[in-house]
Structure 1
């Protein structure tokens, strides 16, 4: 039998007889099983509820009675972001960004009903889920199991015998690496199971497969790090201490430093702050509810010339509806400008955090995991953009009805004349202009492309540690 496989088999036998290893593995296995089941059930329930709420919101909008179109502009509508299938493994930003938005005229509201208002890192460890366990606890398990792999052979004297028998340091290191990688592969089964469950629920097989591969790469980095320390250090207690320190640094300290660095490097104002800054410019656009606002004098002149009319009363369209549509378009351009600037800054912060994956593979695997699961910041930003497009389309559709289906005379007199008010009520069938909204993740190919950088960072880690292992194995001495 191959020397590498023989060494790995002996290592597995030793671990199978070790109570410490078995107890640690059992604890992690139970946590993974319970957390996976709870998270999958919770996400499935959330997906069903949000889909039902979206359908209910649309049915409620369509069921409104005959009324003035601008009443429906302010009645508004809701857009919900349903969790994708892979959110059962990594819920990502869902807990901190909100799940629904109220859409209404003249405003861009924030997403509501976030489970937690902390978690400023947009996808940090706000709640225990399978992704967090893989990112935090599995490396600790590998440290407990493998920190003394080579040191044990040195302390017992078997390393000298193995080398004297002609076994190379590379073969010994290869056997130890295979043994620990086998343990890591065993613990990849739950994520593979959840990935299969997500595919059955409609997820793209490519995204699910790359997600599993990403965590295999992450655990491979920890296998390499544990083996490298075991090769280079000559005392087991020192090796354990160094690896625990490395875990604290990589998994807990550097991620927090990265978040702070991203926030310090790029100042991203919140939605409320942006709205306050925007107020002065918003006032200059004019009040869309006041057709006589001087801000619309130029528009009035243009429209009168277009229709060759002497006054707004002679126009074949309702001047108030024209003003409402024009004002909404200008205001939306202004709001979109601020929203895009804010989202660009948030994306820059996220990229800075991801680049810290050069120092912490935990950050790299977290970024790739959220991206592949369709629960990352970029996906949330797309939800904001698509819900805003829905808002603008239905508001402008109603403003178009206001301009074309109502006369200016009736619209101006409706507050004082009940008959005019009745004539300004549009038939409820017109509310069907609202489009149905079902938010879905990006195509798998796009998600895989976005996850390329963090996956590449983990490959760099693995290549660098592989070089360290090769050097340490060649210099291996009793």
Structure 2
């Protein structure tokens, strides 16, 4: 108890001395205003995007259902839209959302990518990143911590009070712990109100009706950011304690901040993309088209692959013309073509995703030497704004597109006659009530266990950093000198 009392006294002394500096008030107030702006802009982005997605998803569904009696294959080409709604936590962590699209046009025989990203409609400044609560917590608060902590111990050494404190029976462990608690108490004056506002907004966005999955995500979001900020409190005090002057401590801490938050993340991405080079979008689409043409063109009646299918059908049903088959031949061929094209697309996509996975894995491994990369990956994963979430949306949309196309093909096989109408006859159609057989698209975000599974490297790196910092503290306690 006596030891703890000493550490609390040291923490209070540091806190009081910090606020004697007018600059700290100004910087703290400035960051507080940035947090308020980030909360407001996040709220506005979330509501605008989801209102827009809901509006156009509803209009797309209405347009689909309002189609008149029509040939089902024409309906398959008429297509539909899949929209991706944001999750409540994306209010605080924009992640990759501004750069990835949130809408995909779905049509037969063709796989499209997501479009209509915020970056596409914004000026180039967006490419430097928007101001979000996560960005402030992950980048600006660590810088403030370093500003508060660079002279925590170094200044005591410079003015001679460090030797006096240690001679009075205060141990290095008590001193370091007290200084860490002091800096943490100052940071909590920003962090705690931010979390309170964050939780209130999060509840409000869900009308105070929350799911266990979202609750776990929110809790982990808060916990990991708290641990992350404590990391920087410890790093600041350890660097200050091992530096002979405050100036050297400040230079070292600014260097660490630059490496952690700016240099390493960008360098890692560039190196990963260089080592594991991915094909361009044009090359990717071209390779798919080439492989599909090797298999055959379902729209070409003289194609060798599909001619062989036709001949086998005529033999099985013992007829001499496709018009005499007991089902719609064109619909059957379209079904086969959709299977082939989708299979080829998925094979190429899987190869591409393996390249991207290697790039991302390389970046995640670097999180073992950089806690910023670890917290960024976790934050985006929990907020459903990471790359994996974008790919998950693409896959859900593709699955929906394939089922839609095949349902239309099945309706054509079942209800459309093989006999082509005369020029003055009514076109072959089916009743428009069948359009309702295709359910509306609903995007389902990844559940918490899927997020934790994909971010296991980041979680392990966080725990490794906890262990390392305890080791560093123990080492510092035994080896630091007063002079």
TM-score interval, smaller chain: over 0.9
1:477 corresponds to 2:482: yes
Distance 1:234 1:169 in 2: 16
Tell me by how many angstroms 1:469 deviates. 2.5
User: Could you say which residue in structure 2 is the equivalent of 1:164?
Assistant: 167
Distance 2:345 2:450 in 1: 27
Distance 2:127 2:379 in 1: 12
1:26 corresponds to 2:29: yes
More moved, 273-282 vs 242-251: 273-282
Distance 1:372 1:195 in 2: 15
User: Could you say which residue in structure 2 is the equivalent of 1:82?
Assistant: 85
Is the Cα–Cα contact under 8 Å of residues 214 and 455 in structure 1 kept in the other structure? no
Residues 1:442 and 1:124: Cα distance change in structure 2 (over 3 Å): farther
1:373 aligns with one of 370, 375, 383: 383
Deviation track 1:90-132 (CA, whole Å, cap 9, x = no partner) reads: 121211111110001111111101222699xxx9853222211
The RMSD of aligned alpha carbons is 2.0
More moved, 80-89 vs 341-350: 341-350
Query: Aligned pairs, how many?
Result: 469
1:143 aligns with one of 116, 123, 146: 146
Is the Cα–Cα contact under 8 Å of residues 390 and 435 in structure 1 kept in the other structure? no
Deviation track 1:150-199 (CA, whole Å, cap 9, x = no partner) reads: 12222232222211111111101110011112223333221453245325
Distance 2:151 2:285 in 1: 57
1:442 corresponds to 2:442: no
Distance 1:318 1:283 in 2: 24
Tell me by how many angstroms 1:440 deviates. 2.6
Tell me by how many angstroms 1:60 deviates. 0.9
User: Could you say which residue in structure 1 is the equivalent of 2:197?
Assistant: 193
Tell me by how many angstroms 1:355 deviates. 1.3
User: Could you say which residue in structure 1 is the equivalent of 2:131?
Assistant: 128
Deviation track 1:264-308 (CA, whole Å, cap 9, x = no partner) reads: 121122432211122222212322223443221221233234434
Distance 2:282 2:97 in 1: 20
Deviation track 1:24-75 (CA, whole Å, cap 9, x = no partner) reads: 1111111111111111221122112212211221111111111111211111
SS of the counterpart of 2:99? helix
Is the Cα–Cα contact under 8 Å of residues 95 and 115 in structure 1 kept in the other structure? yes
* TM-score of the superposed pair, with normalisation by structure 2: 0.92
SS of the counterpart of 1:179? helix
User: Could you say which residue in structure 2 is the equivalent of 1:95?
Assistant: 98
1:394 aligns with one of 401, 404, 417: 404
SS of the counterpart of 1:187? helix
User: Could you say which residue in structure 2 is the equivalent of 1:452?
Assistant: 456
Distance 1:418 1:389 in 2: 39
1:318 corresponds to 2:328: yes
SS of the counterpart of 2:114? coil
SS of the counterpart of 1:101? strand
SS of the counterpart of 1:17? coil
Is the Cα–Cα contact under 8 Å of residues 272 and 360 in structure 2 kept in the other structure? yes
Within-5 A mapping of 1:400-419? 400-410=410-420, 413=421, 417-419=423-425
Residues 1:461 and 1:5: Cα distance change in structure 2 (over 3 Å): same
Tell me by how many angstroms 1:471 deviates. 2.0
- Unpaired runs of 5+ residues, structure 2, are none
User: Could you say which residue in structure 1 is the equivalent of 2:354?
Assistant: 344
* TM-score of the superposed pair, with normalisation by structure 1: 0.93
User: Could you say which residue in structure 2 is the equivalent of 1:38?
Assistant: 41
1:49 corresponds to 2:52: yes
The structure 1 segments of at least 4 consecutive aligned residues displaced by more than 6 Å after TM superposition are: none
More moved, 434-443 vs 391-400: 434-443
Is the Cα–Cα contact under 8 Å of residues 80 and 100 in structure 1 kept in the other structure? yes
More moved, 105-114 vs 466-475: 466-475
User: Could you say which residue in structure 1 is the equivalent of 2:337?
Assistant: 327
User: Could you say which residue in structure 1 is the equivalent of 2:431?
Assistant: 427
- Unpaired runs of 5+ residues, structure 1, are none
